[in-house]
Structure 1
């Protein structure tokens, strides 16, 4: 079967082995000290409205015979909850309550080996699914675990009791109570709670009244969907236990659903008299919101609660959606929103593949957020914040297109850059400055290419997309885009600041019109199609598994590409300062390659470009 080549502008993500260095909220359970064992089923514990408002998603009860539980951070706390039918001798039960905030992608549980050594250590990670109320369990232990649904209402359709989860595999867990056992020894009970739904403020003229829910209509997660009329103020609201209330100002006309103890909370909205409010009980709120609609995001903390009004779609791929929006916590006007997708267009995807994609995208979100949150440079897109609950990033909006934009900076027919020398000098100076700053922070970008450089003649060049950024002390990643990977990666698997320099050198060959847009070579139907997987360049040969041919093919194709880069280098003029610098950026020996600090110094020293 013929190999299917990816489309142009393809970035290879981190492999699963490369996503180990993460920060997670977690608990550590130690086998010391006696503890009282509660017998009240977790399903019977009452979750108050205040608990929901805090964003609590998981209740945890360790079952080890002797245990001492230390919450990993402020997102994990002990709660004393009352049961529906309280036992006079045990009026309240103590459980660990886990809150998902805008910075939590998952929750990790580690329990050491039992005192009698019959039970091995347990390590499980529970990833929050941004597109549903479910959690995805990943068994990181060295031994199989047994998972059972213990909700008294019985198993949900399609679930099994006593299902074995072998190491490295996943399981989708819907809301309810579950038990983890190892070698027939119960270790942990936990209950998954539904998340608070976002609310959508929809312009009336764009709303389809046919989707109005009746009071008895429920979605697949048992929540009620609702859409009241703007003038409806009936006490029997479709939302059980809540009442519809109107702001006293008739001009607003936005109905807010509130509990009896809620504080007054009104979200102002432009032309509110022409809007309706509807809950988004499941699905991904930020992917469902349409142009000029506002998503009201709830949260237990001040910074976790905000409004987002979508404006214009910028781009959408199978991995992400990028659009402009207005954010209630960002006073600077329009921002750029990037939302990582966890559901592909293929509805027939295997559950394990869907689970892996959620985990991979969550870890990429965390990496990008942590890599960029402390970067403050005029030629780097400013990160305002992000929301792990939706795998979204909120960034400065740069009024400029990326260098790969067809019909803007790239000729649609020839794939050549359409800017002039002044553009090339400006791009080199700005991105060299940004990379020098990043390298001073002891970080490597790992995905320098035209598509990750935004440019306008007013603003200059701005570096974006830090989803593959690593610390310079981290092992070399297989992520990135193959045309920009340096020669020292073959065999030696070396990457770092010098590899960013090489990648910018290849990018500058395109900007100086010495080569067409490199990524176009991966396009199906290209007359000189060329593409390889970065991970295959250093794959151990195993002929009986077909790895030998893959590795050999990858090395052969990359060597072919490097020969084309060398041919383009020969067309550079060493007496031209800018082209001379690009020559030095493409030095094959990474130890002799020019640094970004030297590039900047040379540009300024020779007055190639004036300071801002």
Structure 2
């Protein structure tokens, strides 16, 4: 075996090698009309509007936010105009005239068709058929008016050649017609929410529903039903918990509605997206601002600011006002303190000494709730206060995830508001950066809620540049967290804690990764243990129906004492799901034919990894240049550069496979792992059983 390389060792979480940056090795997965018996409370009581809500009612929506073009998450809308940043329908004067003419025509037709009332025979009453006709025409005119307005949106005014502005009365008329409710004073709605806020100190959203029996959200543990606030309608308080990156609003009556509100970690704003069936449009209206009216087709979304919003849904000509919601500011804040010593050691030692046996046992388990102590215990016990930290500094990039702004030895204090009952306060000191990719940042850290744990934190690099990216990052975080929290295996990294508010997951600190330089330094006993441990981990995952999708030396930690440990589940998925992305050198030949990987794909990737461990090849990423995986989407063009490069690489693997010694237990297992036919490739469980023999003296 060749001599060990003397190149710098690599952290198990270090991903951004020079070659990674060049080729983009690990890619991100491609991821209202209330009923008459359910009116608002009368204004007889002297209820005062809570200042926060009153301010939200007064403040107009941000112009730049209203101008955000709403596009498909996967691709721009076919009807999007180049250079346009506005999705709000603007109404010009000739549309106002059109609406007035339509109303006159509707009245004339109603008068001709209706029958006299039997009560007095004088005043013409509209019979039910006519009322239905009028309602249908009213809805139809809204659609036509919007289409005319949209087509003429960029047309200059005939009077002066400038862009036509919406006449306020017309905008208000259209807004009321679209929402389909009477002019309920904003102050009345704000009063209802003001009554609800003290009863829900943990709430991020308050939902005021017309249909208390129509929604499908009662089983959601983030929801608290508030009673006694208003008659005939239901108020739901939605908390933003540590594992919540979005909230789903679902109605089955009177219409099938599915929307999601994504929480922005760097802002008080949220992203509202319509995920209802294709034929259902959602109308999103800021009721305190007549100009904030958005019509969202399926899979389109809109950034929303804190304030009161009203939701209605359209299905053909049917219009369904559903609910109002109050979006509150984040119930927590983040401050960054410059490096200072001691940082959190005194508080941690004091708290640990006072912990019960049960608390110490709980701290050894993966945490669903990050902070186990209250704000006071974290910041003032045993003489440790915020003054023990360094001075605070301004967060440079306020739109990004705040933890991305931390430098080595600095401390972030994440602190919930005093009235909140949820335990989400803790301190985090960054020790040293371990790795970074285009989508993640990893650094070792100390966590005040887990003072005895040696941790690393993985933070998704959402920078707030586009709200359209927010759902992508949120789902990436949720997928990895959801998979890891159910995994309990010695050779799989342990999830210790998480914080969806920060797009952060906290993991056990592992030994160095297998990336030890251009040449492998590992011995035969090392190779045996690494393959045994990894086959055990892969067999465990296979039994759970989980595919890792990114097996490689950089994602496996190892030392003889701890053994080999698999980590980085950012691309993992269930067997029935189709993954995207990966690292080119470790993808199986199955990828070319049908883009199918699955469990055999993980086995192939581990086989290539073992060629490096056994010193049969150099570090794969440094042997050849990478290739674009998007060019391998079936049907694959065989003349494409990606196809040619991958074929060349597979030929190298085939040559090295042929050189393996089948009489050697480990090399024979690797030979079976690299069968080009996925159906014939060795399974993880079989490899594990074959290697469960006492290690020989190599």
Per the normalisation by structure 1, the TM-score is 0.70
1:376 aligns with 2:484: no
Q: Secondary structure at the match of 1:332?
A: coil
- Checking the alignment, whether the CA contact within 8 Å between 1:81 and 1:94 is kept in structure 2 is no
Structure 1 stretch displaced more, 320-329 or 262-271:
262-271
Which of the pair is proportionally richer in helix? 2
Cα deviations across residues 444-486 of structure 1 (Å, max 9, x unaligned)? 21211111111234433211011222223x2332232232222
1:193 aligns with 2:193: no
1:460 aligns with 2:579: no
Q: Which residue of 2 aligns with 1:101?
A: 241
Q: Which residue of 1 aligns with 2:28?
A: 13
What is the rounded CA distance, in whole Å, between the counterparts of 1:7 and 1:579 in structure 2? Answer: 32
Computing the radius of gyration from Cα coordinates, the structure with the larger value is 2
Q: Which residue of 2 aligns with 1:275?
A: 389
1:416 aligns with 2:519: yes
- Deviation of 1:338 after TM superposition, in Å, equals 0.7
What is the rounded CA distance, in whole Å, between the counterparts of 1:197 and 1:504 in structure 2? Answer: 43
Cα deviations across residues 407-436 of structure 1 (Å, max 9, x unaligned)? xx01xxxx3334343432332222222222
Measured at CA, do residues 511 and 361 of structure 1 come closer, stay the same or move farther in structure 2, by a change above 3 Å?
Answer: same
Among 278, 292, 295, the residue aligned to 1:164: 295
What is the rounded CA distance, in whole Å, between the counterparts of 1:551 and 1:127 in structure 2? Answer: 42
- Checking the alignment, whether the CA contact within 8 Å between 1:308 and 1:326 is kept in structure 2 is yes
Q: Which residue of 2 aligns with 1:544?
A: none
1:592 aligns with 2:695: no
What is the rounded CA distance, in whole Å, between the counterparts of 1:485 and 1:43 in structure 2? Answer: 59
- Checking the alignment, whether the CA contact within 8 Å between 1:128 and 1:136 is kept in structure 2 is yes
Q: Counterparts in 2 of 1:474-513, with a 5 A limit? A: 474-513=576-615
- Deviation of 1:203 after TM superposition, in Å, equals 4.7
Q: Which residue of 2 aligns with 1:145?
A: 281
Cα deviations across residues 181-218 of structure 1 (Å, max 9, x unaligned)? 33464333222111023343625869xxxxxxxxxxxx
Among 427, 431, 435, the residue aligned to 1:311: 431
Q: Which residue of 1 aligns with 2:664?
A: 576
- Deviation of 1:566 after TM superposition, in Å, equals 0.7
1:36 aligns with 2:38: yes
- Deviation of 1:271 after TM superposition, in Å, equals 8.4
Among 258, 264, 268, the residue aligned to 1:129: 264
Q: Which residue of 1 aligns with 2:223?
A: 76
Among 573, 577, 581, the residue aligned to 1:470: 573
- Deviation of 1:378 after TM superposition, in Å, equals 2.0
Q: Which residue of 1 aligns with 2:139?
A: none
1:326 aligns with 2:462: no
- Deviation of 1:369 after TM superposition, in Å, equals 1.1
What number of residue pairs does the alignment pair up?
Answer: 488
Flag structure 1 segments of 5+ consecutive residues without an equivalent.
17-30, 83-89, 115-119, 207-261, 348-353, 522-527, 541-547
Measured at CA, do residues 263 and 317 of structure 1 come closer, stay the same or move farther in structure 2, by a change above 3 Å?
Answer: closer
- Deviation of 1:34 after TM superposition, in Å, equals 9.4
Q: Which residue of 2 aligns with 1:361?
A: 473
- Checking the alignment, whether the CA contact within 8 Å between 2:39 and 2:231 is kept in structure 1 is no
Cα deviations across residues 95-142 of structure 1 (Å, max 9, x unaligned)? 21111101112111223464xxxxx63321111111211111222121
Q: Secondary structure at the match of 1:573?
A: coil
Structure 1 stretch displaced more, 195-204 or 435-444:
195-204
- Checking the alignment, whether the CA contact within 8 Å between 1:43 and 1:177 is kept in structure 2 is no
Q: Which residue of 2 aligns with 1:385?
A: 497
Q: Secondary structure at the match of 2:579?
A: coil
- Deviation of 1:583 after TM superposition, in Å, equals 0.6
Q: Secondary structure at the match of 2:457?
A: strand
Q: Secondary structure at the match of 2:325?
A: strand
1:61 aligns with 2:208: yes
- Checking the alignment, whether the CA contact within 8 Å between 1:107 and 1:127 is kept in structure 2 is yes
Measured at CA, do residues 593 and 263 of structure 1 come closer, stay the same or move farther in structure 2, by a change above 3 Å?
Answer: closer
- Deviation of 1:575 after TM superposition, in Å, equals 2.6
- Deviation of 1:67 after TM superposition, in Å, equals 4.2
Measured at CA, do residues 377 and 551 of structure 1 come closer, stay the same or move farther in structure 2, by a change above 3 Å?
Answer: farther
What is the rounded CA distance, in whole Å, between the counterparts of 1:372 and 1:65 in structure 2? Answer: 36
Cα deviations across residues 562-607 of structure 1 (Å, max 9, x unaligned)? 2221122123222322211111110122222222222222223374
Among 487, 502, 507, the residue aligned to 1:395: 507
Q: Secondary structure at the match of 1:574?
A: coil
Q: Which residue of 1 aligns with 2:138?
A: none
- Checking the alignment, whether the CA contact within 8 Å between 1:81 and 1:95 is kept in structure 2 is no
Q: Counterparts in 2 of 1:211-230, with a 5 A limit? A: none
Measured at CA, do residues 264 and 332 of structure 1 come closer, stay the same or move farther in structure 2, by a change above 3 Å?
Answer: closer
What is the rounded CA distance, in whole Å, between the counterparts of 1:135 and 1:343 in structure 2? Answer: 14
Structure 1 stretch displaced more, 33-42 or 505-514:
33-42
- Checking the alignment, whether the CA contact within 8 Å between 1:537 and 1:551 is kept in structure 2 is no
- Deviation of 1:291 after TM superposition, in Å, equals 3.0
- Deviation of 1:549 after TM superposition, in Å, equals 5.0
- Checking the alignment, whether the CA contact within 8 Å between 1:81 and 1:93 is kept in structure 2 is no
- Deviation of 1:512 after TM superposition, in Å, equals 1.9
What is the rounded CA distance, in whole Å, between the counterparts of 1:538 and 1:561 in structure 2? Answer: 18
Q: Secondary structure at the match of 1:584?
A: helix
Q: Which residue of 1 aligns with 2:461?
A: 341
What is the rounded CA distance, in whole Å, between the counterparts of 2:661 and 2:213 in structure 1? Answer: 74
Q: Counterparts in 2 of 1:248-267, with a 5 A limit? A: 267=379
Q: Secondary structure at the match of 1:401?
A: coil
Q: Secondary structure at the match of 1:130?
A: coil
Measured at CA, do residues 286 and 92 of structure 1 come closer, stay the same or move farther in structure 2, by a change above 3 Å?
Answer: farther
- Deviation of 1:66 after TM superposition, in Å, equals 8.1
Measured at CA, do residues 312 and 487 of structure 1 come closer, stay the same or move farther in structure 2, by a change above 3 Å?
Answer: same
Q: Secondary structure at the match of 1:126?
A: strand
In angstroms, what is the RMSD of aligned CA positions? 3.7
- Checking the alignment, whether the CA contact within 8 Å between 2:533 and 2:563 is kept in structure 1 is yes
Q: Which residue of 2 aligns with 1:46?
A: 194
Q: Which residue of 2 aligns with 1:255?
A: none
Measured at CA, do residues 460 and 162 of structure 1 come closer, stay the same or move farther in structure 2, by a change above 3 Å?
Answer: same
- Checking the alignment, whether the CA contact within 8 Å between 2:491 and 2:536 is kept in structure 1 is yes
Cα deviations across residues 494-523 of structure 1 (Å, max 9, x unaligned)? 3332221111001111222222322346xx
What is the rounded CA distance, in whole Å, between the counterparts of 2:423 and 2:388 in structure 1? Answer: 28
Q: Which residue of 1 aligns with 2:308?
A: 177
What is the rounded CA distance, in whole Å, between the counterparts of 1:66 and 1:137 in structure 2? Answer: 23
- Checking the alignment, whether the CA contact within 8 Å between 2:584 and 2:627 is kept in structure 1 is yes
Structure 1 stretch displaced more, 166-175 or 140-149:
140-149
Which of the pair is proportionally richer in strand? 1
Q: Which residue of 2 aligns with 1:286?
A: 403
Q: Which residue of 2 aligns with 1:24?
A: none
